[in-house]
Structure 1
Amino acid sequence: MWIRDAGGYGVGGHVTHYERVEKVRLLVVDDDPPIADLVATVARYEGWEAMTAYSGEDALRRAAEFHPDIVVLDLMLPGLDGFGVLDRLRRSGTMVPVVFLTARDGVADRVAGLTRGGDDYLVKPFAVEELMARLRTVLRRAAGPGFQRSVLQVADLTMDEDTREVRRADRLLTLTPTEYEVLRYLMRKSPTVLTKAQILDHVWEYGFGGRSNVVELVVSRLRRKLDGNGESDGGESLIHTVRGVGYVVRQVAE
């Protein structure tokens, strides 16, 4: 369940968003530790709790201890495979949503995964953003009509994390995936000032160390889009540069 947080007054602006009463608990099961750890790390950035398991037997033990809200499950596991894990979970009465993440892309595997009780099926190689979107969709479907969308808001700027719609007042903004992720990170952390290195590590993750000019270019494009390119329908600038530190999204205090 998500509830509106009416608090959040910070330096220079009013920040409101929807938060889950309890954090989403995600169990990631994959015998490739870098993949499992990557998915868990991204989920933690989303504010979720995440635990990893690298075998079928380990997955069952972790599920019994952790009581996850949703499971990302590989099919090709040592010992007990993904189908075996799912069968045992279902036989135990656990109806936790399961999203398969696997290199097995055959139609028969997809059909088996869905008909045996899986909730979605994603083939490797995969985009983490797509996986997280699918997880949110499955969670929303499992929670029923009472599940409210997660919305970030700073002043008249709003971001729907489920539909990925971004609006400045009544204007719907068209953002590239990178622009969206930079803005979301700034809004999630508002009114905290973020360094260029922090933004690089969060959005680009690898291979961009020291390339702070990339952040500057994306922030510059975001400012033009958020502020209406200087037109009359634009509002005051919400992305501020703190000299020698980095960037922050906030409304200027009156």
Structure 2
Amino acid sequence: MGSPGRGLVLVVEDEAAIAELAAMYLKRDGFGVHVEADGGRALDAVRRLKPVAVVLDIGLSGMDGIEICKALRAAGDWTPVLFVTARDDELDRLLGLEIGADDYLTKPFSPRELAARVRTVLRRASGVAPAAETFAVGGARVDVTSRRAWAGDAEISLTSTEFDLLTHLLRHPGQVLSRDQLLSAVWGYAAAAGTRTVDVHVAQLRAKLGASSPIRTVRGIGYAADPA
């Protein structure tokens, strides 16, 4: 499994060469690594091994990555999940789905970038909030200290990435933020990583916020959180 100095990462990938390369770079980065090629066994491994993060290929045989992620979230398991997709059109399958992933990479990808993305997801998930802050726009509200969010009067469950994205939008009510600006502020990496990641997470946020969502699409630019 490797020396788990930073914790164990579960890599779920049925292409052996890709799994081996991902594991090698994650181990170099100080993570322990466990690899599974089968979706059903991967779900059992998450529950048994309690990894700090899951690198999850969408296109698995049998139980695919989306089904695994949905099963985890339905069971209240919010282990950070980084999806790996084989084609851009697989990202289209994620748009508008409330699946609860934290980040995405499209094959072929740099294994160094994979390791960096895992580190970023974990920093967000375990980060300590600053002084007490609450932001509310329209029917959406977040408490930064407790990392809790509400749609109207109902509390909702968000991934660490969804929470940070919503918080950033609510911090700037009425301000149009480009996809590049959101990538830089929330994900912490350059626009070359792909602005469609932002669209996926906004779609997930809207699904969870429902009628309380204040998020407006500004065609060709990005998004804004509009006061009621």
Tell me the TM-score normalised to structure 1 length. Answer: 0.47
1:76 aligns with 2:39: no
1:131 aligns with 2:114: yes
CA–CA separation in structure 2 for the residues paired with 1:73 and 1:36: 10
CA–CA separation in structure 1 for the residues paired with 2:15 and 2:96: 22
1:87 aligns with 2:70: yes
1:51 aligns with 2:28: no
> Contact (CA 8 Å) 2:39, 2:61: kept in 1 or not?
yes
Match of 2:80 in 1: 97
CA–CA separation in structure 2 for the residues paired with 1:118 and 1:144: 18
Match of 2:46 in 1: 63
How far is 1:23 from its partner?
2.7
Match of 1:159 in 2: none
Match of 2:101 in 1: 118
Query: Per-residue CA shift, 1:164-219, capped at 9, x if unaligned?
Result: xxxxxxxxxxxxxxxxxxxxxxxxxxxxxxxxxxxxxxxxxxxxxxxxxxxxxxxx
How far is 1:112 from its partner?
5.0
Query: Per-residue CA shift, 1:116-162, capped at 9, x if unaligned?
Result: 1000011001011111111111110111237xxxxxxxxxxxxxxxx
Letter in 2 for 1:144: G
Letter in 2 for 1:35: I
3-state SS in 2 of match to 1:89:
helix
Whose Rg is larger? 1
- Which consecutive unaligned segments of at least 5 residues does structure 2 have? 130-187, 189-228
3-state SS in 1 of match to 2:51:
coil
- Work out which of the residue numbers 6, 11, 17 in structure 2 matches 1:34: 17
> Contact (CA 8 Å) 2:5, 2:31: kept in 1 or not?
no
CA–CA separation in structure 2 for the residues paired with 1:145 and 1:34: 37
Match of 1:217 in 2: none
The Cα RMSD (Å) is 2.4
* Alignment of structure 1 residues 221-240 onto 2, 5 Å: none
3-state SS in 1 of match to 2:95:
helix
Aligned length: 128
Tell me the TM-score normalised to structure 2 length. Answer: 0.52
3-state SS in 2 of match to 1:62:
helix
CA–CA separation in structure 2 for the residues paired with 1:29 and 1:54: 6
> Contact (CA 8 Å) 2:5, 2:32: kept in 1 or not?
no
> Contact (CA 8 Å) 2:12, 2:56: kept in 1 or not?
yes
How far is 1:35 from its partner?
0.9
Structure with more of its chain in helix, by fraction: 2
Letter in 1 for 2:85: T
How far is 1:64 from its partner?
1.6
% identical equivalent positions: 40
